């Protein structure tokens, strides 16, 4: 009986060791899979961040381009307004000079 109990104990210990090692392999496998998932997530996260930065840069450049075009249009409009103002001033000066000449001619009669 003593040998039977010793054999059963040894068998139980061997079975327990097998289950622990088997679980250890499963845990190692799960750790490996978890590490792979984490690395994949990090990689995708970095890609997403890079894509977001690129998109932000593209939008910034597009905004700068639109602002520069608007600024150029404003400068053109200012230039055109200045030219029209000068033309109007010149035209008024000519009309005033003509009126003055007519008034002088009329008074001289």
Sorting pLDDT into bands at 50, 70 and 90, what band is 80? Answer: very high
Query: What is the distance, to the nearest Å, from the Cα of residue 33 to the centroid of all Cα atoms in its chain?
Result: 33
Question: Is the pLDDT score of 24 beyond 70?
Answer: no
Sorting pLDDT into bands at 50, 70 and 90, what band is 101? Answer: confident
Higher pLDDT, 40 or 10: 40
- The H or E element containing residue 109 is none
Class of residue 63 by CB neighbours under 10 A (exposed 0-12, middle 13-18, buried 19+): exposed
Per-residue pLDDT, 11: 78
- The H or E element containing residue 7 is helix 2-108
């Amino acid at each position: 009986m003593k040998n039977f109990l010793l054999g059963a104990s040894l068998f139980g210990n061997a079975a327990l060791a097998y289950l622990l090692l088997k679980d250890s392999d499963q845990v190692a496998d799960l750790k490996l899979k978890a590490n792979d998932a984490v690395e994949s997530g990090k990689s995708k996260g970095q890609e997403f961040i890079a894509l977001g930065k690129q998109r932000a840069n593209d939008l910034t450049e597009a905004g700068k381009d639109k602002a520069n075009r608007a600024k150029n249009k404003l400068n053109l409009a200012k230039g055109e307004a200045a030219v029209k103002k000068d033309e109007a001033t010149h035209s008024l000066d000519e009309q005033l000079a003509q009126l003055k000449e007519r008034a002088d001619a009329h008074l001289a009669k």
